[in-house]
């Protein structure tokens, strides 16, 4: 019987009836609704929330005025003045000047190593494809357009038109020393079987290993050697892993990427077991449409020919960007959902990190995995940044119902705005025997003020005895917020705190180091810090924290530190006072502190250093 959900009269969230009274009591005491974004906020933080999240600020690059909480997204993904890398010279260029820059930069020439001609950069990749005619090797018998110049046959040394080169090879006389099935010495003389090198009789298992280390271009060249080597080209072992990368920039150099990806799946897709797809920073709606059409054909072909796919990764699509028109986004999600319905019974690993969907869209895609069996067999699921910023996913009954279909999760990666008592209860009931790892990211722009009871974490840890939880905080640095998230009942294995230029003159890291983190001294194994502590010295607190965490074997920090801090840590490690095996220390630029300032133990300056300590 499904549990009944009711809306809280204060914050309007959907809450299980069994928790409603307790939730409303807490809600009325501590939470109020923000009049701007209609989101629940702690009463003590309402003023800070309004000033920090909704205050209008100007972009330093394009001077556009927008709310502060959208500034980071605008500067990294939307600003027309943001710096981007030229595909030809790798220099940073303003986005609105990139097309002009690449037009002139692409007209520079580079020497082709294959034919010795000087080719313009913007057509160099296409030229190389024509120059070596890789794909015509496997499409033998079809006509190809003639290149600008003839190609010298590697066997008979005659100049052959490019569109006849691969048709020319099979018609060489068997007696010709250049026949693809024959073996020649360094001087071009035909070798008799007794005189041939070991390469001619190399076992298939060794030959497959050689081909495994070659890229696509080199594999095509090696397949020209003889019939046996050509047959190795079709070995299933060579095509089980594939990463397909699509450029998000309009460029003739990358024009064939979409066609090549589809050609690969048609030719070798039946062998595929691990597929990773990358779509790098799409520039406009034309490219997203082209990507959507290509993916429709690719997923359709793969769904028909493949029955062994175990791993699928499609990261950082950022479907909430303006370059994804509603129709394009809907068509892509329809193709992906249909594919997951067919392949869900095979998939063991799914990574959709950075998809940026609404709750309804995201749950619809995840529900496709359990379409045939009413439950999913996926053991590793990565949905970090899967939902758009500022969504309180934890309050969605639809999300909790979707997560209840996963029955064999071993590793789960998600954002803290997805965590709720209901989710922990589902994991405890359905995945307690298999769950080993939870990776939780908490970003300052994601809602993270929900109340999670320690008893929910304690119950999950009691049933999932092997569970280890890793936290990654970005710009969430204040002690009050961290203490509300890092409950002592959580079996924390790793904590990463990154300030990302967070600055507050009243903020102090000391309470976190002395009061909060020692709570996990019995389970903590990895610590990563990145913060600006130029207003306080924390050397002593950090040293005591390392000594108190008896299982801590990895420590990385980027902060203002005294050089003697490293010496003390190494001495403690040498004396067996700590279990540290890896120590990475780096100081921010401009980290010098005047003598006698009281910061850094009176040292004349804090220097940047990096060190690895071996146990």
DSSP string, 211-239: HHTS-HHHHHHHTTS-HHHHHHTT-GGGG
Q: What is the pLDDT of residues 51-93, one digit of tens each?
A: 666 677 777 777 788 777 777 788 778 888 888 777 776 666 7
Task: Please indicate, yes or no, if residue 559 is contained in any of the structural domains.
Answer: yes
Q: Which of 140-154, 409-423, 451-465, 481-495 has the lowest mean pLDDT?
A: 140-154
Residue 132: per-residue pLDDT: 53
- Of the two residues 614 and 37, the one the predictor is more confident about is 37
Tell me what the mean pLDDT of segment 495-514 comes to.
Answer: 86
Burial pattern 91-121, b for ≥16 Cβ within 10 A else e, equals eebbbeebeebbeebbeeeeeeeebeeebeb
Domain residue limits at 572:
475-615
Task: Please indicate, yes or no, if residue 580 is contained in any of the structural domains.
Answer: yes
Task: Please indicate, yes or no, if residue 78 is contained in any of the structural domains.
Answer: no
**Percent of the chain, pLDDT > 90?**
44
* Cα atoms found within 13 Å of the Cα of residue 510, Cβ hemisphere only: 10
Domain of 16, CATH number, reads 3.30.40
For residue 49, CA distances in Å to 45, 408, 485, 501 come to 6, 39, 18, 18
Q: What is the pLDDT of residues 512-532, one digit of tens each?
A: 999 999 999 999 999 999 998
Q: Which of 89-98, 297-306, 496-505 has the lowest mean pLDDT?
A: 89-98
Q: Is it the case that residue 560 has pLDDT exceeding 80?
A: yes
Q: What is the pLDDT of residues 419-456, one digit of tens each?
A: 999 999 999 999 999 999 999 999 999 999 999 999 99
Mean of all residue pLDDT scores within the chain: 81
Rounded Cα distance, 12 and 81, in Å: 40
Q: What is the pLDDT of residues 96-129, one digit of tens each?
A: 888 887 777 777 766 565 555 667 777 777 766 6
Q: Is it the case that residue 199 has pLDDT exceeding 60?
A: yes
Q: What is the pLDDT of residues 606-615, one digit of tens each?
A: 444 444 444 3
Burial pattern 491-504, b for ≥16 Cβ within 10 A else e, equals bbbbbbbbbeebee
Q: Is it the case that residue 146 has pLDDT exceeding 70?
A: no
Residue 355: per-residue pLDDT: 96
- Of the two residues 227 and 320, the one the predictor is more confident about is 320
Grade residue 136 by pLDDT with cuts at 50, 70 and 90: very low
Task: Please indicate, yes or no, if residue 521 is contained in any of the structural domains.
Answer: yes
Residue 59: per-residue pLDDT: 79
Rounded Cα distance, 497 and 510, in Å: 13
3-class secondary structure, 421: helix
Grade residue 234 by pLDDT with cuts at 50, 70 and 90: confident
Residue 147: per-residue pLDDT: 43
Domain end call among 35, 52, 69: 52
- Contact assessment for residue 450 and residue 479, using Cβ atoms and an 8 Å cutoff: no
Rounded Cα distance, 445 and 101, in Å: 35
List of residues 6+ apart from 505 with CB closer than 8 A: 535
Number of domains in the chain: 2
Task: Please indicate, yes or no, if residue 243 is contained in any of the structural domains.
Answer: no
Rounded Cα distance, 379 and 369, in Å: 12
Rounded Cα distance, 583 and 485, in Å: 27
Residue 168: per-residue pLDDT: 58
Q: What is the pLDDT of residues 154-194, one digit of tens each?
A: 556 566 665 554 455 555 554 444 444 444 443 444 444 44
Q: Is it the case that residue 481 has pLDDT exceeding 70?
A: yes
What is the number of residues in the chain? 615
Task: Please indicate, yes or no, if residue 484 is contained in any of the structural domains.
Answer: yes
Task: Please indicate, yes or no, if residue 35 is contained in any of the structural domains.
Answer: yes
Q: What is the pLDDT of residues 364-423, one digit of tens each?
A: 999 999 987 888 899 999 999 999 989 999 999 999 999 999 999 999 999 999 999 999
Residue 118: per-residue pLDDT: 61
Grade residue 17 by pLDDT with cuts at 50, 70 and 90: confident
- Contact assessment for residue 294 and residue 277, using Cβ atoms and an 8 Å cutoff: no
List of residues 6+ apart from 432 with CB closer than 8 A: 460, 463, 464
Residue 151: per-residue pLDDT: 57
Residue 613: per-residue pLDDT: 47
Task: Please indicate, yes or no, if residue 525 is contained in any of the structural domains.
Answer: yes
**Percent of the chain, pLDDT > 70?**
77
Residue 180: per-residue pLDDT: 42
Q: What is the pLDDT of residues 399-408, one digit of tens each?
A: 999 999 999 9
Rounded Cα distance, 491 and 304, in Å: 43
Tell me what the mean pLDDT of segment 125-136 comes to.
Answer: 58
Residue 18: per-residue pLDDT: 78
Residue 150: per-residue pLDDT: 59
DSSP string, 3-46: PPEEE-TTT--EEEHHHHHHHHHHHHHHEEE-TTT--EEEGGGH
Residue 148: per-residue pLDDT: 45
List of residues 6+ apart from 392 with CB closer than 8 A: 13, 39, 40, 417, 447, 450
Domain end call among 52, 74, 93: 52
- The tokens describing 206, both together, are 């060794």
């Amino acid at each position: 019987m499904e549990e009944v959900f009711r809306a809280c009269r204060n914050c309007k969230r959907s809450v299980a009836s069994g928790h409603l009274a307790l939730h409303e009591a807490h809600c009325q005491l501590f939470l109020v609704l923000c009049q701007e974004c209609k989101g629940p906020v702690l009463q003590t933080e309402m003023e800070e929330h309004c000033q920090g999240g909704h205050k209008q600020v100007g972009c330093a690059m394009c001077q556009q005025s927008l709310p502060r909480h959208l500034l980071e997204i605008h500067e990294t993904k939307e600003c027309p003045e943001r710096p981007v890398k030229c595909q030809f010279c790798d220099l940073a260029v303003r986005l609105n000047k990139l097309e002009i820059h690449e037009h002139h930069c692409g007209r520079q020439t580079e020497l082709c190593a294959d034919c010795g001609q000087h080719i313009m950069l913007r057509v160099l990749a296409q030229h190389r494809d024509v120059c070596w005619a890789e794909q015509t090797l496997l499409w033998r018998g079809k006509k190809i357009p003639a290149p600008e110049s003839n190609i010298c046959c590697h066997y008979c040394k005659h100049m052959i038109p490019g569109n006849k080169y691969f048709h020319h090879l099979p018609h060489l006389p068997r007696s010709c020393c250049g026949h693809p099935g024959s073996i020649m010495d360094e001087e071009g003389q035909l070798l008799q079987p007794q005189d041939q090198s070991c390469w001619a009789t190399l076992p298939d298992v060794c030959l497959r290993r050689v081909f495994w280390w070659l890229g696509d271009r080199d594999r095509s060249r090696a397949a020209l050697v003889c019939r046996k080597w050509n047959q190795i080209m079709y070995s299933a072992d060579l095509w089980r892993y594939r990463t397909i990368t699509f450029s998000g920039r309009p460029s003739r150099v990358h024009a064939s990427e979409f066609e090549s990806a589809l050609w690969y799946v048609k030719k070798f897709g039946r062998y595929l077991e691990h597929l990773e797809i990358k779509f790098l920073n799409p520039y406009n709606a034309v490219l997203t449409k082209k990507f959507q059409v290509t993916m429709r054909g690719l997923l359709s072909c793969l769904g028909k020919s493949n029955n062994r796919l175990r791993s699928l990764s499609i990261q950082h699509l950022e479907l909430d960007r303006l370059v994804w028109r509603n129709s394009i986004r809907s068509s892509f999600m329809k193709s992906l959902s249909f594919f997951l319905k067919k392949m869900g019974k095979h998939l063991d690993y799914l990574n959709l990190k950075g998809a940026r969907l609404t709750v309804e869209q995201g749950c619809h895609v995840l529900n496709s995995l359990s379409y045939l069996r009413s439950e999913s067999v996926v053991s590793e699921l990565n949905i970090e940044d899967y939902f758009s910023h500022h969504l309180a996913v934890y309050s969605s009954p639809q999300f909790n119902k979707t997560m209840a279909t996963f029955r064999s999760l071993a590793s789960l990666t998600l954002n803290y705005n997805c965590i709720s008592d209901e989710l922990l209860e589902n994991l405890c009931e359905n995945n307690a025997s298999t769950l080993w790892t939870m990776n939780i990211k908490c970003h300052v722009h994601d809602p993270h003020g929900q109340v999670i009871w320690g008893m929910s974490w304690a119950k999950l840890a009691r049933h999932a005895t092997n569970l280890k939880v890793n936290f990654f905080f970005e710009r969430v640095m204040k002690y009050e917020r961290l203490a509300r998230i890092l409950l002592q009942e959580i079996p924390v294995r790793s904590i990463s705190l990154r300030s990302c230029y967070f600055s507050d003159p009243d903020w102090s890291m000391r309470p976190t180091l002395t009061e909060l983190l020692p709570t996990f001294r019995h389970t903590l194994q990895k610590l990563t810090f990145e913060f600006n502590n130029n207003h306080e010295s924390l050397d002593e607190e950090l040293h005591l924290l390392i000594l108190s965490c008896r299982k801590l074997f990895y420590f990385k920090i980027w902060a203002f530190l005294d050089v003697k801090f490293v010496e003390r840590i190494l001495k403690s490690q040498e004396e067996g006072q700590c279990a540290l095996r890896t120590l990475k220390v780096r100081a921010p630029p401009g980290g010098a502190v005047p003598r006698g300032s009281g910061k850094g133990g009176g040292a004349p300056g804090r220097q940047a250093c990096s060190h690895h300590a071996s146990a």
